[in-house]
Structure 1
Amino acid sequence: MTKHKLPAVWMRAGTSKGLFIKREHLPVDQTKWIEPLLAAMGADSRQLNGVGGATSTTSKVAVVGKSAMEGVDVDYTFAQVSVGGEKVDFSGNCGNIASGVGPFAIQEGLVQQVKNGETKVHVRIFNTNTERIIIETVEVDDNGHVQEVGNYAMPGLHGITGSEVKVAFANPAGSMTGQLFPTSNPWDYLTISATETGCKPFTVRATLLDVANPFILVDASTLPFELQDSKRDDALYLSLVESIRREGAVRMGLAHYIEAAAQVRGTPKIAFLWSAPDDKANIRVRSFSMGKPHPSLQLTGAVCLGAGMCLPDTVPSRLANLAKRIGDKQELPTPSRTPSPVSLTGKQMLNHYATQTVKIEHPSGLIEVEVVTQYSLGNEGAQIQVERCIVSRTARRLFEGNIYFYL
């Protein structure tokens, strides 16, 4: 075996931590990244022989390099390194890790030199996983250095504040499937067979939505008894969650069959939704990552759920409305293949923009998402698009140097 050296930075970005690596320090062929990334993070179940933290939120990698695209500063590729599974998943993006890309790019000189007197820098990022643009607004000091210290507090850090990084996902719909609603429906029924779980067959109601990342957003009130406890995380519970996720993957066209869906744990992702119990939030969520409960909520999950709350007839939009009408047990109508905004007239819908800020409660606190939607009239009738979703994070450089590993 040969000893290798890999220059890298370890950063906390949002509620995740991971390696930030310059594109130039990895092989040109992306398929040859897998072995060095596994070795660097640690391929064992506790990642003791690498720098990974043995959880899905601390086993992440961002590869960043100057972009050749006009109007784009850097290209960013996200890699989810499995813990003990010897796999590296490039299928989706991580919004939390993405929030560190702007600061990293400035610190590493990958963006145009900051002009004197600027207090904020807008970094345009192309995420290669989803082929979407992310625009980050990063605060800098008088010398053009990234300002890490600040007063912005975000849930999941328990009292730790920092400088606000605004992360705007531009035109985030269709990140992997090419469609806002991969099934053409604002919501669907998913039936899980007994053979997959060892339990009785059951059916859940879910919105299959692809915004920033594809998500299966499940109405928790339709879950079977075995899944009603929102704090469970035993093997049976997680196997049932995974069964729903796999069925959703097939329905979204991300896998041809259930067995194939089992091979890609990173996408689609899955989350359970409840009406919020009070006025502090619009909805309550419990999401899952790589087969385990997420300690808070993926940033792309917040973006996808926030968008879903602002779209007509979806599970999240209905549950958000129910939060304001305690005790209302209104049933969802039969799925419509052409969801359209019914509250606007034809003239009003012509290039009409709507901006809403929604609040999502997750296990670590609250997150706000600003959602901009566009309504328009076309040859196919009324159309709705998610124009932009904006969230705020903080990020901090923890250490820099070289990782040594053997291959």
Structure 2
Amino acid sequence: MSALCRDSIAVPATLVRGGTSKCWLFDLADLSGISGRQAGVDEVLAAAFGARDSDQIDGVGGATSTTSKAAIIGPATAPGIHVDYTFGQVGIGDERVEWGSNCGNCATAVGLHAVRSGLVPATAGRTRVRMRNTNTGGRIDAVVATPDGRVPAHGDTLVPGVTSPGVRVELEFLDPVGGTTGTLLPSGNPVDELARGEATLVDAGAPAALLDAATVGLTGVESVAEFTTLLPGLLPLRRAAAIRMRLAGPGDPVEAAVPKLGIVGPPRDYRTSGGVLVRAAEYDLAVRMVSMHTPHPAIGLTSMVAVLAAATQPGSVVRRHLGAAGGPVRLGTPAGVVTGTPVLDGDGRLVAVNLVRSARVIAAATIFVPRGAGVGAA
């Protein structure tokens, strides 16, 4: 055995760009023997990503909330499902892994990987991957473009926030309501008055607190730099929302991943982070979201599901800027305009949210994880 192997454990992984995130994908079988089970997995992932360091220099993490993500893929444990996956948000400057939420961009990556790796056989034209997220129990279908029954090497679908195209992946979030709290509006109200500002507290895709931008003195089209300077004044509202949603008690810590926090407002002309002018007529709702205490450079997909779910609720802060519900909704984000479609049944109940993303496999690798306290042999 080499010195490298004596001092570290070797863990196979695949790096996939899904939507506007990068996600390291791990096979459950490759992690299942790690000592300490869940604790061991947490410690191995934190060490692999270099989570102790806020720059993640000594690991595979990218030191941002969109590049410090992992998903563990395992065999389906329910009928009608192809793949189970568990999402982990790895800490940055914090040796923790948060397991309390899902990530739609990583779901995009899992869908592509499932077909490319043969977990789900490709079919001519499009291949449907039926997935279950174990964090929330949520069901997501990924429909992967497979022309001629194969996965393209790169694809030709471009999404805002990414400068290169990828393989087209259509995501269908099925029955997305209440995965954490059991209900769409955990407080029972379409609008809640917080200590400062009005918000709709919604649980769909992920728990989220959506603030009406005007009630907190903002517009909803702030640049990422502007939003960064204003964010410290908004974070206490996130704690208030978590307590109101019964995600935490008054004296309890609040997870960094949930609830999501964002502001929404009416369309206005603005420029993307890349300097492109977006006219008010080109979209329906301005959105700026927070991820792991920092402004998201685009919008996370579970946050997008939450916004679109709130759009179906009369009186919500989202609906007040949209008017009548129904049909696709165009969201103006720092990266550009993204579109999603809430799907309602005959009784007006939200049964799905459909989005279009792209994904690309970047690397297949072996990560050498330093042995340390609690990190045993796989």
State the TM-score, normalized to the length of structure 2: 0.88
Q: 1:356 to 1:367 in 2, by over 3 A?
A: same
Post-superposition CA distance 1:300-335 (Å, at most 9, x none)? 1111112212221111010123xxxxxxxxxxxxxx
Give the one of 144, 147, 158 matched to 1:138. Answer: 144
Aligned pairs, number = 350
The answer (yes or no) to whether the contact 2:221–2:288 under 8 Å persists in 1 is: no
Does 1:42 find its partner at 2:36? no
For residues 148 and 285 of structure 1, the distance between their equivalents in structure 2, rounded to whole angstroms, comes to 33
SS of equivalent residue, structure 2 residue 179:
coil
SS of equivalent residue, structure 1 residue 99:
helix
Give the one of 304, 307, 316 matched to 2:306. Answer: 304
For residues 293 and 398 of structure 1, the distance between their equivalents in structure 2, rounded to whole angstroms, comes to 25
Map 1:6-405 to 2 at 5 A: 6-27=11-32, 29-43=37-51, 44-111=53-120, 113-115=121-123, 118-142=124-148, 144-158=149-163, 160-191=164-195, 203-224=196-217, 231-233=225-227, 237-257=230-250, 259-261=252-254, 264-277=255-268, 278-321=280-323, 356-376=327-347, 384-405=348-369
The answer (yes or no) to whether the contact 2:23–2:109 under 8 Å persists in 1 is: no
Among all aligned residue pairs of Structure 1 and Structure 2, give the percentage whose two residues are the same amino acid. 35
SS of equivalent residue, structure 1 residue 53:
coil
Letter in 2 for 1:41: F
Q: 1:225 to 1:71 in 2, by over 3 A?
A: closer
Q: Any stretches of 5+ residues in structure 2 without a counterpart?
A: 1-5, 269-279, 372-378
- Structure with bigger gyration radius: 1
For residues 250 and 114 of structure 2, the distance between their equivalents in structure 1, rounded to whole angstroms, comes to 40
CA-CA distance at 1:220 after TM superposition: 0.7
The answer (yes or no) to whether the contact 2:199–2:210 under 8 Å persists in 1 is: yes
Post-superposition CA distance 1:264-298 (Å, at most 9, x none)? 10000100111012221110011111111111111
For residues 227 and 316 of structure 1, the distance between their equivalents in structure 2, rounded to whole angstroms, comes to 12
Letter in 2 for 1:87: R
CA-CA distance at 1:370 after TM superposition: 1.0
For residues 228 and 398 of structure 1, the distance between their equivalents in structure 2, rounded to whole angstroms, comes to 32
For residues 234 and 359 of structure 1, the distance between their equivalents in structure 2, rounded to whole angstroms, comes to 24
For residues 300 and 163 of structure 1, the distance between their equivalents in structure 2, rounded to whole angstroms, comes to 20
SS of equivalent residue, structure 2 residue 287:
strand
CA-CA distance at 1:27 after TM superposition: 2.5
State the TM-score, normalized to the length of structure 1: 0.82
For residues 10 and 134 of structure 2, the distance between their equivalents in structure 1, rounded to whole angstroms, comes to 25
